[in-house]
């Protein structure tokens, strides 16, 4: 039975991927649900994340494709790029998606409240002057770009602003070594900017497979991105021609824009957490149990704000599991094994399962299969680009426990491989699967020779 002493059964703070899915599903089970959002419906993914990022990746790839086309017989001249057209067409598409989310919520009879919600106590939330009571509160406020303190920090921008710059940055410095930094380096390089990527570590994409990281550095350098590893920004100073960036190795670069992609932190500002007993982890995320419950019994949290795997489809799965368990009476848990992901750098990276280091630690003895080749398209286009593929096999069970690729369409290819791996496919199953010819994907079922042991 619902408790009708409260205005709502569920009050969701944040209308991003996780919050919207949880709200819709809970309402579908008959719960009275409200969602408060102080920015745009759809959260990071729709507004300043995956969606605009992928659109800009498509835009960036055209520049190379015009050049590729020449050896295929197309007399393609160097085309001029107009930033404002891309930016404004992207804005129109995002507005359309915001409206779609609004419709999805109103169609599910979820009350959408415009404004930043503040938790008053375990069963009450205030939005502006308005106070709402609720049986359960779900925090789904996601993450926020983090820029460290240093002299001139105020002159840097984050991924929140980069999509809507008034003027195209002809010279761009990107600081960071995660997938967001790597993707933007590819986007702006492809659109014609001179890009320098600055990372304090020896090699970017920490957490990815070691071979993928090395191959990515090689391929991205080939595209003309100026990669600077083991160096950091000391200061940023405005100069008449733009911004002067002083690096810790004493080098100076002059740019129009400095984009910081140095990580994201849980978006907890002004949430009123001091009014309740919600435990925050050392990394600044909301600590939750496997039912997404915080240390305050009536308050739950899911998605990026909990610091787990920060991917839209993971937040969606968590939102669904939460609603089913809390309002549908269904035991439903998210399985976090073999979650595929892609990095939309150029060429793309697709990955699922364990890295080589993780597999060695987990399984002990493993077999590796690797392949590097020129994509068929570029045998004629003349583009200097190599595809890399790698399979990691648990020696004892013959099960494929890791698949990694850098090359065109890696994200599309990896989705199907992820299904096979979740089903427990062995290397023998891969080997007896007939390939689709001619494709790059068939290489995954044609790798016969194990990589020699060290």
Kindly report, residue by residue over 254-281, the tens digit of the pLDDT. 999 999 999 999 999 999 999 999 999 9
Domain 153-262, second-level architecture = 3-Layer(bba) Sandwich (3.50)
Residue 76: pLDDT band by 50, 70, 90 thresholds?
Answer: confident
Distance CA 260, CA 181 (A): 8
Beta strands 194-199 and 171-175: pairing type?
parallel
d(CA 445, CA 443): 5
pLDDT value for 332:
86
H-type helices in 271-401, by residue range? 312-327, 356-363, 376-381
Percent of the chain with pLDDT over 70: 99
> Torsions phi, psi of 210, nearest 5?
-60, -40
Residue pLDDT, tens place only, 55-69: 999 999 999 999 999
Q: Is the peptide bond before 199 cis (omega within 30 degrees of 0)?
A: no
Phi/psi of residue 432, nearest 5 degrees: -95, 0
- d(CA 225, CA 293) in angstroms, rounded, equals 44
Whether omega for the bond prior to residue 438 falls within 30 degrees of 0, making it cis, is: yes
What number is the average pLDDT over the span 359-371? 98
* 454 has a pLDDT exceeding 70: no
Rg of the chain over Cα atoms, rounded to whole angstroms, equals 24
Q: What is the mean pLDDT of the chain?
A: 97
pLDDT value at residue 2? 62
pLDDT exceeds cutoff 80 at 330: yes
pLDDT range class, residue 133, cuts 50, 70, 90: very high
Evaluate the CA torsion angle 203, 207, 209, 210 in order and state its sign: positive
- What fold is seen in the domain 341-445? Enolase-like; domain 1 (3.30.390)
**Which CATH number does the domain 8-144+265-327 belong to among 3.40.50.300, 3.30.930.10, 3.40.50.620, 3.50.50.60?**
3.50.50.60
Of the residues 155, 215, 395, 437, only one is catalytic, namely 437
Mean predicted confidence (pLDDT) in 334-351: 97
pLDDT at 3 over 80: no
Q: Which of 287, 302, 265 is nearest to 148 (CA)?
A: 265
Which backbone phi and psi does 139 adopt, to 5 degrees? -95, 120
Q: Where are the domains of the chain?
A: 8-144+265-327, 153-262, 341-445
Same fold, 8-144+265-327 and 341-445: no
Q: Is 123 a catalytic residue?
A: no
Long-range contacts of 21-24 (CB under 8 A, 24+ apart): 21/315, 21/316, 21/319, 21/320, 21/323, 22/138, 22/140, 22/302, 22/318, 22/319, 22/320, 22/322, 22/323, 23/105, 23/108, 23/110, 23/319, 24/104, 24/105, 24/108, 24/110, 24/323
pLDDT at position 78, please? 82
Quote the pLDDT of residue 453: 80
């Amino acid at each position: 039975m619902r408790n009708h002493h409260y205005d709502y059964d569920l009050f969701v703070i944040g209308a991003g991927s996780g919050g919207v899915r949880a709200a819709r599903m809970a309402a579908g089970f008959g719960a009275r649900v409200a969602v408060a959002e102080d920015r745009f419906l759809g959260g990071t993914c729709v507004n300043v994340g995956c969606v605009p990022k992928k659109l800009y990746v498509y835009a960036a790839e055209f520049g190379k494709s015009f050049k590729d086309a020449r050896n295929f017989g197309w007399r393609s001249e160097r085309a001029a790029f107009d930033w404002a057209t891309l930016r404004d067409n992207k804005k129109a598409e995002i507005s359309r998606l915001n409206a779609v989310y609004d419709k999805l919520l109103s169609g599910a009879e979820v009350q959408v409240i415009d404004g930043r919600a503040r938790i008053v106590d375990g069963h009450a939330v205030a939005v502006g002057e308005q106070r709402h009571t609720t049986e359960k509160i779900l925090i789904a406020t996601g993450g926020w770009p983090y820029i460290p303190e240093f002299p001139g920090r105020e002159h840097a921008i984050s991924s929140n602003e980069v999509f809507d710059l008034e003027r195209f940055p002809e010279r761009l410095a990107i600081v960071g070594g995660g997938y967001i930094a790597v993707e933007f380096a590819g986007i702006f390089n492809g659109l014609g900017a001179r890009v320098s990527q600055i990372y304090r570590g020896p090699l970017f994409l920490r957490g990815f497979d070691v071979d993928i990281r090395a191959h990515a550095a090689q391929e991205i350098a080939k595209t003309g991105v100026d990669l600077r590893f083991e160096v950091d920004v000391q200061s940023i100073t405005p100069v008449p021609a733009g911004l002067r960036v002083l690096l810790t190795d004493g080098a100076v670069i002059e740019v129009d824009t400095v984009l910081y992609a140095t990580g994201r932190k849980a978006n907890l500002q002004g949430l009123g957490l001091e009014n309740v007993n919600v435990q925050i982890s050392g990394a600044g995320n909301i600590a939750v149990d496997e039912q997404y419950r915080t240390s305050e019994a009536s308050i739950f949290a899911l998605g990026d704000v909990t610091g787990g795997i920060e991917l839209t489809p993971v937040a969606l799965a968590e939102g669904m599991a939460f609603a089913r368990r809390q309002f549908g009476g269904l035991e439903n848990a998210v399985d976090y094994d073999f979650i595929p992901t892609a990095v939309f750098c150029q060429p793309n990276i697709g990955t699922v399962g364990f890295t080589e280091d993780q597999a060695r630690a987990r399984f002990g003895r493993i077999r590796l299969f690797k392949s590097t080749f020129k994509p068929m398209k570029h045998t004629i286009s003349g583009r200097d680009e190599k595809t890399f593929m790698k399979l990691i096999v648990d020696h004892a069970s013959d099960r494929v426990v890791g698949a990694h690729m850098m090359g065109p369409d890696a994200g599309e290819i990896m989705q199907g491989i992820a299904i096979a791996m979740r089903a427990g496919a062995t290397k023998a199953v891969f080997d007896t699967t007939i390939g689709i010819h001619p494709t790059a994907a068939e290489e995954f079922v044609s790798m016969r020779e194990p990589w020699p042991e060290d």
